[in-house]
Amino acid sequence: MSLLKRLVRRLRDDRGMTTAEYAVGTLAAVAFAGILLKVLTSSHVQAALTALIDRALK
């Protein structure tokens, strides 16, 4: 097999791509969870949720 053919075959080989995709997906999920946690623990959102729950229970 020629050097060029081996190089092309090696460049087209995508073994390990699923692992990289899982890593990127995991990082995105962790970043989203961090942002969501920050938003939900802010005083404005906590006040709104408390008011909503109080109104629902009355």
Q: What is the pLDDT of residues 2-27, one digit of tens each?
A: 888 888 887 777 666 677 888 999 99
pLDDT tens per residue, range 24-39: 999 999 999 999 999 9
| Sign (positive or negative) of CA dihedral 10, 14, 20, 24 | positive
CA–CA gap between residue 29 and residue 23 (Å, rounded): 10
Six token digits for residue 8 = 């092309």
Going 16 to 20 to 26 to 30, the CA torsion angle's sign is positive
pTM of the model: 0.56
E-state strands within the chain: none
